[in-house]
Amino acid sequence: MKAKRVLAMAVTAMTAAVCIGASVQAPATAATKYKLLWSQEFNNTKVSRPDPKVWDYDLTDGYGWGNSEQEYYTNYTSNVKIDGKGHLVINALRLSETSPILDHCFACTYTSARLKTAKLLGFRYGRMIARMKLPTDTGTWPAFWMLGASLANGGTWPESGELDIVETRGSAPNVVHGTVHGPGYSGGNGRGSTFYAPNPVSNGYHTYGVDWLPNKIVWTFDGQPYFTMTPADTGGNRYVFNQEFFLILNLAMGGEFPGDTDPAVKSATLNVDWIRYYSINGQGKVFKH
């Protein structure tokens, strides 16, 4: 009888300990909530131009762009269009030796396109992501990126901030780059990292994105995070990524980043299946101008 009472007391004590232990466990982390705020699906059934309420064009004027690039940006449908098959297409096309463009852009060897949402749409925080197939021809430089909205209103670079969601270069067809530029950390001193894809990115469509929150940016490739940026990574310089940015999509040819183009490359194509922008746990805003 005594032994049974001791055993019962021991079982009761063990049960109480388990209950107490369970009561002090950390609560489960709430699932991250994403809400679609804006998208471009490019599902027009006919060949058409990008939506003028969303996209404007950066056009080459005079001697071309910086970085020793070799493209002449146009708004020609031969260079940029919605193809009627569910894609936005940017084509870089080699200029003929008799093109009148060469009369005022001596460094240009291709026409291409550069789209922007400046003064039309802006974004702050949230998930910005695109499904794209990028070219890897020698000298190609496709980019999906953002600039601080202040730049479109008299601000200066790099003080306005630059957020490169993805850049690639044809000489390294498996390498994906994510970078930021700001005051004191721009150009070759930009802060970023690379992701090594298992195959050339031109082999198929992949998703390229950032999860952008106050004081934190995370880059992803096909949903896999590969780099995180916070104010601690600016080397003591000013962090400029808690403000509105606008979106840019372009295909550059040649320049300091990808190197010279191959004369044998007559054309290169950037295909965009969709672009989507989500809030993250309520963080994210679209600005319409």
Q: Which residues are catalytic?
A: 162, 167
Dihedral (CA of 118, 121, 123, 126) sign? negative
Going by C-alpha positions, the residue among 23, 54, 32, 64 that lies closest to residue 116 is 54
Q: How far apart are the first and last CA of the chain?
A: 84
Where in the chain does DSSP place strands (E)? 34-40, 56-57, 71-73, 80-82, 88-94, 110-112, 114-116, 121-124, 126-133, 140-148, 162-167, 175-181, 191-196, 206-213, 216-221, 224-229, 245-253, 267-280, 285-288
